[in-house]
Amino acid sequence: MRTLIIGDLHLSADRPDITDAFCRFLDTLPDDTQALYILGDLFEVWVGDDIAEPFAKEVARHIKAVSCRLPVYFIHGNRDFMLGRQFAKEAGMQLLPEVFKTLLYNKPTVLLHGDSLCTLDEAYQRFRRFRSVPLFRWIYSKLPKRKRLQIAADLRGKSKRDNQSKSDEIMDVESSAVADLMRTSGAMQMIHGHTHRPAIHQLDSKQTRMVVGDWYHQGSVLTITPEGSELTTLTL
């Protein structure tokens, strides 16, 4: 038996190769898969369930087929934080809180997208707090579709420009933020994405931090079993 964890697929209409690889992955899940977790940034951008593109509808159909035989869990990322209950229902995904604590094969585990751990990036953390305000989200959801799409494009462009001038240290998780969450959650293992730096880090003799990779150039899948953990890649 196994639990599969992925994130940072950044699906978009102009990268059909990633969408095809993801759908193949869903269609060929091992029979002993017990659950699938998607740790955010499933889509490159999401401006509202009412503007779901045709390729996103196709993705929803594939996820729905999987959800008929095992639970599919979703945690919002920084690119698809507006993904709502309507699309989640259509895809058969169960929405989880930003930080989710659970037991994975008797190991206390905390799962999250990971952007909240990048505390050295103060400008992004300010935006992150702003986007979480319910009033902002409500106003944004009421804007015309064209306006929402333009705002999303502007934000992506700004993010890309800003990231080019940020150091690797700022773009990565901050060690004290990791330690604080491990302590407050009582977890033995932390699993997240966002940084696009797939790895399994042994923090000490008992605690592990696992990072799923992005799907820009190859797929990245974390497999958790009662015996241990393994990161594997998929060809696009």
CA 183, distance to chain mean position in Å, is 22
Q: At the fourth CATH level, which superfamily is domain 2-120+168-234? A: Metallo-dependent phosphatases (3.60.21.10)
86 vs 147, higher pLDDT: 86
Task: Please state, for a pLDDT cut of 90, what percent of the chain lies above it.
Answer: 74
Q: Count of CB atoms within 10 A of residue 87's CB?
A: 25
What pLDDT shows up at residue 162?
Answer: 66
Q: Among all chains, which residue has been given the structure tokens 């998929």?
A: 234
pLDDT at 164 over 90: no
Task: Give pLDDT tens digits for 93-121.
Answer: 999 999 999 999 999 999 999 999 999 98
All structural domains of the chain with their residue ranges: 2-120+168-234
**Separation between Cα atoms, residue 123 and residue 102, nearest integer Å:** 31
**DSSP letter at 173?**
P
**Separation between Cα atoms, residue 63 and residue 86, nearest integer Å:** 14
Q: Count of CB atoms within 10 A of residue 89's CB?
A: 14
Task: Give pLDDT tens digits for 12-64.
Answer: 999 999 999 999 999 999 999 999 999 999 999 898 898 888 999 999 999 99
Task: Give pLDDT tens digits for 205-230.
Answer: 899 999 999 999 999 999 999 999 99
User: Using CB atoms within 10 A of its CB, is residue 200 exposed (0-12), middle (13-18) or buried (19+)?
Assistant: middle
Residues sharing a CB contact under 8 Å with residue 34, sequence separation 6 or more, in sequence order: 1, 2, 3, 70
Strand ranges of the sheet holding 72-74, from the earlier edge strand across to the other edge: 93-95, 72-74, 33-38, 2-6, 219-225, 228-234
Task: Give pLDDT tens digits for 114-123.
Answer: 999 999 988 8
**DSSP letter at 5?**
E
Query: What confidence tier does 180 reach under pLDDT thresholds 50, 70, 90?
Result: very high
**Both tokens assigned to 64:** 């729905």
Residues sharing a CB contact under 8 Å with residue 131, sequence separation 6 or more, in sequence order: 81, 137
Task: Please state, for a pLDDT cut of 70, what percent of the chain lies above it.
Answer: 96
Q: Among all chains, which residue has been given the structure tokens 């008929």?
A: 68
Closest alpha carbon to 38 in 182, 230, 220, 203: 220
Residues sharing a CB contact under 8 Å with residue 191, sequence separation 6 or more, in sequence order: 5, 37, 39, 109, 110, 111, 112, 209, 210, 211, 212, 222
Question: What pTM was estimated for this model as a whole?
Answer: 0.93
Q: Among all chains, which residue has been given the structure tokens 């929402």?
A: 148
